[in-house]
Amino acid sequence: MALLLPVKNIYPSIPDTCWIAPNATIVGDVTFGDHCSVWFNAVIRGDVHFIKIGDRTNIQDGAVIHCTYQKASTSIGNDVSIGHNALVHGCTLKDHVLVGMGAILMDNVIVEEYCIIAAGSVVLENTICESGFLYAGTPAKKIKALTEDQIALLNKLPNNYIMYSDWFKE
């Protein structure tokens, strides 16, 4: 069973429609929307500030979601896919965002709707990632407008992860 712990008597809020891997860790002031999934070895720490996660969002294996004490909460929108081993820290991800494997997003970053952060990218503090673009590199820069195929992927991935998580509910 997943490790779910209160911090200062505040418990994570997880709807029954969500699936949490048995070795995921979720602590403190973390609120999920419906049909989310948290995969193996992911850590979501709402201990020093709150974390809000929208509907149909998937947080993949080894990802870490955290905040900065009294400075930066984390807000994740609907239909967001956070790739394996990504670090999302004290920032805002709006709807239909893909954070690639191993990417790092620092405090006060805003990733607007329909955006892809490429695998391994580092998005520096206070960066605003404009809707409809791919960002890549260290530090991450706007590379190009998303293609129709990439936009279709952003719409498809959340449903795939709902299907994958349903396999574990059988």
> What are the residue ranges spanned by the domains of the chain?
3-165
**Bridge partners (DSSP) listed for residue 20:** 38
Please enumerate, as own/partner, the contacts of 112-120 that have beta carbons within 8 Å and a separation of 24 or more: 113/77, 114/146, 114/151, 114/154, 115/146, 116/146, 116/150, 116/154, 118/143, 119/83
* pTM assigned to the model: 0.97
pLDDT in tens, 39-88: 999 999 999 999 999 999 999 999 999 999 999 999 999 999 999 999 99
Q: What's the angle, vertex CA 68, arms to CA 62 and CA 73, rounded to 5?
A: 85
> In this structure, are residues 19 and 37 in contact, taking their beta carbons and an 8 Å threshold?
yes
What is the rounded distance in angstroms from the CA atom of residue 31 to the CA atom of residue 137?
Answer: 31
In terms of CATH architecture, what is 3-165? 3 Solenoid (2.160)
The reported pLDDT for the residue numbered 25 is 98
The reported pLDDT for the residue numbered 47 is 98
The reported pLDDT for the residue numbered 170 is 74
